[in-house]
Amino acid sequence: MYRLARRSLCGRPARCCYNVAQQPVLIAVAIVTVRIILSAAIALFAATVAIACANAADRSDAGAATLTVFAAASLAESFRAVAAAFEADNPGVTVAFNFAGSQTLRTQLEHGAAAGVFAAADWRQMAAVKEAGLLGSTPVYFAANRLAVATPAGSGTVQTLSDLARPGVSIAIAAAAVPAGTYARNTLQLLAADARFPDDFAAAALANVVTNETSVRGVAQKVALGEVDAGIVYETDVAATQYAKSMRVIEIPLQFNPAAQYPIASLAAAPRPAAALAFIEFVQSDDGQAILREYGFAPPANVACPCARGAVFTLID
**pLDDT tens, the chain, 317 aa long:** 333 334 443 444 444 433 444 444 444 444 444 454 445 444 444 434 333 433 333 333 335 689 999 999 999 999 999 999 999 999 999 999 999 999 999 999 999 999 999 999 999 999 999 999 999 999 999 999 999 999 999 999 999 999 999 999 999 999 999 999 999 999 999 999 999 999 999 999 999 999 999 999 999 999 999 999 999 999 999 988 888 899 999 999 999 998 999 999 999 999 999 999 999 999 999 999 999 999 999 998 744 444 443 333 333 33
d(CA 263, CA 261): 7
Q: How many residues does the chain have?
A: 317
- pLDDT per position as a tens digit, 201-216: 999 999 999 999 999 9
Domain 66-144+262-294 and domain 147-256 have a common topology:
yes
pLDDT at site 64 = 63
Domain borders along the chain are: 20-49, 66-144+262-294, 147-256
pLDDT at site 54 = 34
Q: How far is CA 183 from the centre of its chain?
A: 24
Residue 150: left if φ>0, alpha if ψ -120 to 50, beta else—which one?
Answer: beta
CB 276 within 8 A of CB 116: yes
Domain 66-144+262-294 class, CATH top level: alpha beta
The CATH number fitting domain 147-256, selected from 3.30.479.10, 3.10.310.40, 3.40.190.10, 3.40.50.1820? 3.40.190.10
Dihedral over Cα of 83, 85, 86, 91: its sign: positive
Backbone angles phi, psi at 118, to 5 degrees: -125, 125
pLDDT at site 45 = 43
CA–CA distance from 102 to each of 129, 186, 259 (Å)?
11, 18, 16
CA–CA distance from 228 to each of 155, 190, 193, 243, 285 (Å)?
10, 23, 26, 15, 39
- Alpha helices in 208-285, H assignment, sequence order: 216-224, 235-239, 273-284
